[in-house]
Amino acid sequence: MKLLITQSNYIPWKGYIDSIAVVDKVVLYDDMQFTKRDWRNRNIIKTPQGLKWLTIPVEVKGKFNQKINETKISDPNWNIAHLNLLKQNYKHSKCYKDVIDWIETIYLNCKFTYLSEINLYFLTEILKFLKIETDLIDSRSFILKGDKTEKLINICKDIGVNKYFTGPAAKEYLDESLFSNNNIEVNYFDYVGYKVYPQLYGDFNHNVSILDLIFNCGNYSNNFVKSIK
């Protein structure tokens, strides 16, 4: 059984979705400290003026040590603002008419208090659209003990998996020997080799939100996520 342990991201890029499609289960590890200017509460879309961040406003003043799953939204109308920006910038995309009702419904129904709830909600709906059936598990389901690596290993043991997946950046700090000592195989994702799809506004960019792919390719979006069969 294959397991990915990762923090939740807002409307993540296709590589994040691809990594989920590879594995059997994903633990959304939002017991980690919330970091500003990261992917937890923002992502990138394309516009006629270039790349633009869509950022969910969150409460951070005086809450330096708060966890991702403790982070609250500071403006309840953020969803309407983001929806309007998506409509404005993707109204000329090839599959706009096919997907806008679905996207609008998601945004209008997103009335959660906590960032983790929002990210899980969007991720769940996006996976349904792409027909990815990987199980999503909240890290609060586990009793987390030990240092950072021990917590990861203990989650693997609790679930009963023997293959742990992570991003290529983890090669710099991950102690693979600790996993090996616990009979857990470490695998790193490969985020290269993605096909180019029809995209608006100039030079192609792979690193934008998955919604860019969905607006431009609709029901054919699966063809551009490597691990979806």
What does the pLDDT look like over 1-32, one tens digit per residue?
999 999 999 999 999 999 999 999 999 999 99
What does the pLDDT look like over 101-131, one tens digit per residue?
999 999 999 999 999 999 999 999 999 999 9
Whether pLDDT at 229 is above 80: no
How far is the C-alpha of 9 from the C-alpha of 21, rounded, in Å?
Answer: 16
Mean pLDDT to the nearest integer, 83-94: 98
CA angle 73, 76, 79 (to 5 degrees): 95
Of all residues in the chain, what percent carry a pLDDT higher than 90? Answer: 89
How far is the C-alpha of 194 from the C-alpha of 190, rounded, in Å?
Answer: 10
How far is the C-alpha of 143 from the C-alpha of 158, rounded, in Å?
Answer: 9
User: CA nearest 181: which of 197, 203, 164, 193?
Assistant: 164
Mean pLDDT to the nearest integer, 184-213: 96
Q: Are 28 and 8 in contact (CB under 8 A)?
A: yes
The domain ranges of the chain are: 2-224
- The predicted structure's pLDDT at residue 144: 86
